Amino acid sequence: MIRFEVVHQSSQSWARVGILETAHGTIETPAFVPVATQAAIKALPTHHIEATGSQLLIANTFHLHLRPGEDTVATAGGLHSFMQWPKPLMTDSGGFQVFSLGFGRDMQVGKVRKAADTLPYTTIERGTQPSGLTISDDGVHFRSPLDGKNLFIGPKESIAIQQKLGADIIFAFDECTPPFASEEYLEKSLERTHRWAKECQGALTSQQALFGIVQGSHIQGLREQSAQFINSLDFPGFGIGGELGESKEDMDNVLAWTIPRLSAHKPRHLLGIGYLDDMERIVRRGIDLFDCTVPTHYARRGIGFTSQGRINVRQSKYVGDFSTLDKACSCVICQTYSRAYLCHLFRAKEVSSWQALTFHNLHFFNAYIAQLRQRIRNNDL
Ligand SMILES: [Zn+2]
């Protein structure tokens, strides 16, 4: 179980500072949640993660179901002991991966829409199925991307897997709808997501905190309806999922339609969003938690986030630059190594280059959100 308390509400916006207590420790919100898809932060062994200031991690139900399987994780005593992470953990429901394997893969898109001209669909009508899987009212049939085996995940299966994984916070199974879906498709999908939310509640037998997920794409009426419905089901917290429109302004609108309809004393998690320049915007709208692969993904491409903006340490201008990566950063990488050395590691394709920059970027994101928490306390955000 969890306990959540808002300790300060900004006088300037919906932003708030909160304390979220779980069986594995306390989280100060708003908090950034690093993504540990395969029960691992890519390039960073678990024993290094705590020093980045990370308060909780989110692992991926779908991937862990495929490999190593929830039974193996349960035999290890659950995800906490399997990966040796003593602090709070979340697992997502697998809904987003369904979306990625289906229309997402067909259309080569993520959560923010792109130009329609190269896509196989102009509009996705009710009844249309993606090429890689079949969505029914009970769940989703698909082939394992690892070995081609026929698999099925529905709300009950998702909860059963997440119970064996044993994270502190788990999510209801939902359909993350594709961009360019017709309004009729979206309405039908939302009915299904809402029915699945209740089924997930019915299937839960553990003490884990199950968050309901608000969907409804970028349509105001559907978002409002979904927020009201999911709020009425008495979940201990909420996820906000799905497509958020074409621009940052659209994302802002979706949050403005959603957040006021969710109980103010429960935590709200925005799924899969959190570029550095999004953080202030979503926190201002009242988001308490968000997960995002940006710091880790960019690190592996040589991109470091600094107080002076992003830099690509592979560039030739850093070959002889013996200054620190970011003078304002207190992390061990910035206290120890020069840009020249990091540049060399990347150019020499040393795996420690990924580890070093992943560590710094996570530290940077966590320090950035800590500053935002301070600004909220000062009513400056
Ligand atoms: Zn640093």
| Secondary structure in 3-state letters for 330-373 | CCHHHHHCEHHHHHHHHHCCCHHHHHHHHHHHHHHHHHHHHHHH
Label residue 359 by pLDDT band (50, 70, 90).
very high
Q: Which two tokens stand for residue 294?
A: 């940006």
Q: Let me know how long the chain is.
A: 381
Label residue 118 by pLDDT band (50, 70, 90).
low
Compute the mean pLDDT over every residue in the chain, rounded to the nearest whole number: 93
Ligand 1 center–CA 362 separation, angstroms = 9
Q: How does pLDDT run across 322-348, given as a tens digit for each residue?
A: 999 999 999 999 999 999 999 999 999
Ligand 1 center–CA 341 separation, angstroms = 14
Instruction: Tell me the average pLDDT across 232-259.
Output: 94
Checking if the pLDDT of 281 tops 90, the result is yes
What pLDDT is recorded for position 95? 82
Label residue 289 by pLDDT band (50, 70, 90).
very high
Angle at 205 between CA 202 and CA 206, to 5 degrees: 135
What number of CA atoms fall less than 13 Å from residue 235's CA on the CB side? Answer: 29
Ligand 1 center–CA 330 separation, angstroms = 6
Q: Which two tokens stand for residue 317?
A: 């201008």
Distance CA 64, CA 139 (A): 18
What is the DSSP-derived secondary structure letter of residue 88? -
What pLDDT is recorded for position 144? 87
Indicate the pTM of the whole model: 0.94
What pLDDT is recorded for position 180? 79
Distance CA 189, CA 127 (A): 10
What pLDDT is recorded for position 120? 60
What pLDDT is recorded for position 63? 94
Catalytic residue ranges = 92, 291
Q: How does pLDDT run across 246-275, given as a tens digit for each residue?
A: 889 999 999 999 999 999 999 999 999 888
Checking if the pLDDT of 286 tops 70, the result is yes
Ligand 1 center–CA 239 separation, angstroms = 30
Ligand 1 center–CA 158 separation, angstroms = 38
Reading phi first (left if > 0) and then psi (alpha if -120 to 50, else beta), residue 379 is in left
Is 84 in contact with 46 (CB distance < 8 Å)?
yes
Ligand 1 center–CA 277 separation, angstroms = 19
Ligand 1 center–CA 321 separation, angstroms = 16
What pLDDT is recorded for position 176? 82
| CA end-to-end distance (rounded Å), the chain | 30
